[in-house]
Chain A
């Protein structure tokens, strides 16, 4: 037997895990070098924190004394913590207030803006402007708009006797303006995704529907809605995730009255964990809350993924 290959050098043996030939090894080294900065950065600033989130949640840590392992005490505390329950309820209420409204409004606006109307580009721009605005600035502006008596909304509501309403003080009302700002800022974002979805519906389907005698409503009901359902699914999932994380509005809009709302009436999960960590230095407990928030978001997303087959229509399945 004659073997042609030369005896492997030390260097090539050390690098053999990279690939079978010198060229493939060189390419592999290039690849690793290229991905190194971002991958190491992600690992250090995001990967390790994700792992640490778990360990911190099992500790008592007030940033002065060294952290102490306390098992599941933080989670037990959460169960009997009324203010946590309130923050969770507020967050769920906010999701209920924002998601259906913003998705329906965005769908309606997108459908209308997809019509060949004159000036629709200007209108699209108008709807999108709030998206690029800072939530902090937006919340400040809305606080001013909603001032009792001196705000423009109060002026409009004066004829129905709501001119003096303290939107940001009344515990039963405060979530409404917070939701309003969230919807106002999110509508254009959802609209763009819907528009992209609408424009990818093949024209042939509409032509076929016309031939079948479908009217405007029929085409919307039997072509647009089912073809758009993957887009709707995406928009709903993103909207829920976004509403779970509402923070800026709460922070800014309640800053002038009672931070977090009178009696915690505006406190969301994110706001509550921020306060626990950075006002009360309860980093362990706050980490536990953060994990619960993460778990909730994950749970809702997975739940949506499982129920989507009952209402989301994917073309490939039929074709």
Chain B
């Protein structure tokens, strides 16, 4: 209620017609640029080969052949479905892993006193400052030594630990009044039960916000899988799309079909859970 009031006052209602026209003109033009690539991707994905090199360029396909193009995509890249599945496995693995390890750790940091707590937490946060590229090579080395290249272990295990998630979830847990948890503790519940039955249910919005941005980052990850995985069995879809692009003979309609398949899951997820995405961005502002 308060937020609504504020918003109304912050943006006075007395919008004159010229201002409205001006705003809509700019916003719609911008939105068009934002949407255009999606329309182009979808329409090109359905164009028959003869329409690809037509001059003048046609925007929508005259004879849409979506199904045939999908079939040709699987002819060109027989494992494409496997790549989509691999991406799903990696995404779910990383997200569940982070939810488990990081909510345990966040709960530990938020509610328990132990020697070295401040120092350990500060060290974890310091990791946030290191850009991933800086540790790409030293992270690749042990993974190669462990014999993890081209395995799901390499793609998932390091991604189940996160300083960013630790920070966000600790913030969320600190918002919950301790009195609620204390009631459960007096009833004799051990910390794990308190976390599971009291703290986590109360943090669902924060967990959901965190989960969707983690899903998004994991699904779209490229550089790390590019380095640790290069076999069809564990190849993720971003690499699959890049491989199509690298093959110069791949026509654009198939490229767009591949991009479409790689994009749609995240678009659907976003449209369904938009407010959690927004909350996730507003909460932390950083990926990974």
Chain A contacts to B: CB under 8 angstroms: 17-19, 24, 27-35, 37-39, 41-42, 45-50, 52-53, 56, 105, 108-109, 112-117, 120, 123, 125-138, 140-145, 147, 149-152, 154-155, 158, 184, 187-189, 192-193, 196, 198-199, 201-203, 206-207, 210, 216, 234, 238, 241, 244-245, 247-248, 251-252, 255-256, 270, 273-274, 277-278, 283, 286-287, 290-291, 293-294, 297-298, 301
Min Cβ gap B181→A in Å is: 13
**Contacting pair A150 B138 (CB below 8 A):** no
**Contacting pair A132 B9 (CB below 8 A):** no
The A interface, classified by DSSP as helix, strand, loop or mixed, is: helix
Given contacts A46-B135, A109-B30, contact A138 B37 (CB under 8 A): yes
Min Cβ gap B134→A in Å is: 4
Closest residue of chain B to A196 (Cβ to Cβ) is B282
Q: Quick one: which of B30, B131, B133 has the most chain A CB within 10 A?
A: B133
**Contacting pair A144 B127 (CB below 8 A):** no
**Contacting pair B35 A290 (CB below 8 A):** no
A115–B36 Cα distance when bound, in Å, is: 24
Given contacts A42-B163, A184-B37, A201-B10, contact A50 B56 (CB under 8 A): no
- Name 12 interchain pairs, CB-CB below 8 A, sorted by A: A45-B158, A115-B23, A128-B277, A129-B34, A133-B266, A137-B241, A137-B259, A141-B41, A145-B37, A187-B34, A283-B137, A301-B129
Residues of A with C-beta under 8 A to B6: 199, 202-203
A151–B192 Cα distance when bound, in Å, is: 57
**Contacting pair B220 A35 (CB below 8 A):** no
**Contacting pair A34 B57 (CB below 8 A):** no
**Contacting pair B5 A203 (CB below 8 A):** yes
**B229 part of interface (Cβ distance < 8 Å):** no
**B242 part of interface (Cβ distance < 8 Å):** yes
**Contacting pair A137 B262 (CB below 8 A):** yes
**Contacting pair A297 B37 (CB below 8 A):** no
Given contacts A42-B163, A187-B34, A248-B223, contact A34 B267 (CB under 8 A): no
Residue from A17, A108, A244 in contact with B115 in the complex, judged by beta carbons closer than 8 Å: A17
**Contacting pair B252 A144 (CB below 8 A):** yes
Min Cβ gap A211→B in Å is: 13
**Contacting pair A112 B26 (CB below 8 A):** yes
**Contacting pair B27 A109 (CB below 8 A):** yes
**Contacting pair B108 A34 (CB below 8 A):** yes
Residues of A with C-beta under 8 A to B36: 145, 152
**Contacting pair A241 B131 (CB below 8 A):** yes
**Contacting pair B242 A144 (CB below 8 A):** no
**Contacting pair A145 B245 (CB below 8 A):** no
**B202 part of interface (Cβ distance < 8 Å):** no
Mask of B9-43 contacts with A, CB within 8 angstroms, 1/0: 11111010001100110111011011111101100
Residues of B with C-beta under 8 A to A128: 270, 274, 277-278
**Contacting pair A188 B166 (CB below 8 A):** no
B61-69, B70-78, B98-106, B203-211: which one contacts chain A?
Answer: B98-106
Residue from B102, B248, B269 in contact with A38 in the complex, judged by beta carbons closer than 8 Å: B102
Mask of B274-288 contacts with A, CB within 8 angstroms, 1/0: 100110011001100
Closest residue of chain B to A137 (Cβ to Cβ) is B259
A108–B7 Cα distance when bound, in Å, is: 17
Residue from A152, A158, A192 in contact with B278 in the complex, judged by beta carbons closer than 8 Å: A192
A136–B23 Cα distance when bound, in Å, is: 32
A35–B106 Cα distance when bound, in Å, is: 7
A35–B118 Cα distance when bound, in Å, is: 12
**Contacting pair A290 B136 (CB below 8 A):** yes
**Contacting pair A113 B27 (CB below 8 A):** yes
**B238 part of interface (Cβ distance < 8 Å):** yes
Min Cβ gap B65→A in Å is: 17
Given contacts A49-B135, A52-B141, contact A154 B281 (CB under 8 A): no
A305–B26 Cα distance when bound, in Å, is: 33
**Contacting pair B105 A34 (CB below 8 A):** yes
Min Cβ gap B15→A in Å is: 6
A152–B274 Cα distance when bound, in Å, is: 30
**Contacting pair A256 B248 (CB below 8 A):** yes
Contacting residues of chain B (190-224) with chain A, CB-CB under 8 angstroms: 191, 216, 219-220, 222-223
Q: Quick one: which of B56, B57, B139 has the most chain A CB within 10 A?
A: B57
**Contacting pair B112 A192 (CB below 8 A):** no
